[in-house]
């Protein structure tokens, strides 16, 4: 009996902590991914979850702007041994931990051999268990974006009612459906004029998905176009904190509640395992 208990303890001790890894992504750019990623991460912090936010957008480091912080180091510094992971993590509001991908995102595709192993192993030192890791990704279907999206346990696709955004969301969803069967895939409609318009967008997308790929995405909510959201961006203060009672804040809290209440990932995944999977996808 005692041996069995010791074995169990060892197994648990060796087990990498597992997290829900939620990639916030879109087909078209500028639809609100960064704002949704930051405010969703904060809404989950308010629910007392341990949350990390990783900016894996190759383009502009928008997370910094929305949060009004300036990270000096990013995953690129960890890859080349200049910094440890612990040294690049920044502390955001409500205990949110922020990791900037920066140049590290392109470098990851070129890493191999012992460097890649050392980088992946560096996540072990992240001696901290997160309930949720939120990824703010770039838009579109380039490999540098899809590698992060397809490796996640949960995927949140953002679209607006604009026809081009809906078409690009459809293209992206088709790829996700084919290549990430393990993930829970959900849809948020942002910048809608009314709840009715948002519902129509979700219905339209789902009817096309049903017809052409016999599949549907789980529509989890909408955020209306609201002056406070744009104002919060200008003030570099997340809308959930600056305007906690605005409609967007109430919507994001509702969406966080749905996500947190959703099914746990079928396959446990820690940050280390996640980055191992991403680098595999990047090098295909």
Total residues interacting with ligand ATP, rule: CB under 6 A: 20
Cα 135 from Cα 275, distance rounded (Å): 12
Residues 206-225 within binding reach of ligand ATP (CB under 6 A): 223, 225
The answer to whether 158 and 128 are in contact (CB under 8 A) is no
Q: Residue numbers of the site for Mg ion (CB under 5 A)?
A: 33-34, 62
Going residue by residue from 40 to 59, which x/- string records binding to ligand ATP, judged by CB under 6 A? -----------------x--
Q: Is 33 in the site for ligand ATP (CB under 6 A)?
A: yes
Selected binder of ligand ATP within 27, 32, 71, 270 (CB under 6 A): 32
Q: Check if the beta carbon of residue 135 is closer than 8 Å to that of residue 152.
A: yes
With respect to Mg ion, which residue has the nearer C-beta, 30 or 196?
Answer: 30
Residue 30 in the binding site for ligand ATP (CB under 6 A): yes
Residue-level length of the chain: 284
Going through the chain in order, the beta strands assigned E by DSSP cover: 20-26, 51-55, 90-91, 97-100, 132-139, 154-159, 184-192, 218-224
CA distance 168 to 164: 6
| Residue with Cβ nearer Mg ion (18 or 190) | 190
Buried b (16+ CB within 10 A) or exposed e, 82-108: ebebeebbbebbbebbbbbbbebbebb
Q: How far is the CB of 106 from Mg ion (least distance, A)?
A: 17
Q: Which does 225 bind (CB under 5 to 8 A by kind): ligand ATP, Mg ion, none?
A: ligand ATP
Least distance in Å: CB of 54 to Mg ion? 13
| Interface contacts to ligand ATP, rule CB under 6 A | 26, 29-35, 57, 62, 139, 190-191, 223, 225-226, 229-230, 233, 248
């Amino acid at each position: 009996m005692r041996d069995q208990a010791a074995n169990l303890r060892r197994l648990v001790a060796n087990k990498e902590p597992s997290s829900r890894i939620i990639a916030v992504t879109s087909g078209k750019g500028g639809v609100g991914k960064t704002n949704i990623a930051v405010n969703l991460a904060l809404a989950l912090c308010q629910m007392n979850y341990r949350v990390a936010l990783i900016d894996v957008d190759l383009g502009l480091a928008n997370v910094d702007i929305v949060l009004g912080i300036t990270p000096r180091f990013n995953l690129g510094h960890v890859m080349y041994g200049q910094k440890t992971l612990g040294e690049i993590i920044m502390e955001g509001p409500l205990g949110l931990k922020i990791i900037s991908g920066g140049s590290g995102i392109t470098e990851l595709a070129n890493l191999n051999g012992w460097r890649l192993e050392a980088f992946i192993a560096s996540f072990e030192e992240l001696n901290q268990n997160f309930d949720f890791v939120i990824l703010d990704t770039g838009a579109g279907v380039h490999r540098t974006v899809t590698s992060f999206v397809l490796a996640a346990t949960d995927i949140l696709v953002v679209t607006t009612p604009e026809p081009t955004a809906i078409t690009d969301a459809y293209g992206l969803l088709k790829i996700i459906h084919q290549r990430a069967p393990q993930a829970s895939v959900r849809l948020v409609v942002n910048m809608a004029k009314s709840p009715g318009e948002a519902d129509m967008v979700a219905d339209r997308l789902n009817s096309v998905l049903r017809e052409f790929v016999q599949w549907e995405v789980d529509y989890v909510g909408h955020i209306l176009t609201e002056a406070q959201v744009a104002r919060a961006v200008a003030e570099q203060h997340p809308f959930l904190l600056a305007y906690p009672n605005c409609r967007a804040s109430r919507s994001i809290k509702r969406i966080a509640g749905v996500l947190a209440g959703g099914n746990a990932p079928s396959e446990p995944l820690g940050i280390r395992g996640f980055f191992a999977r991403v680098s595999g996808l990047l090098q295909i």
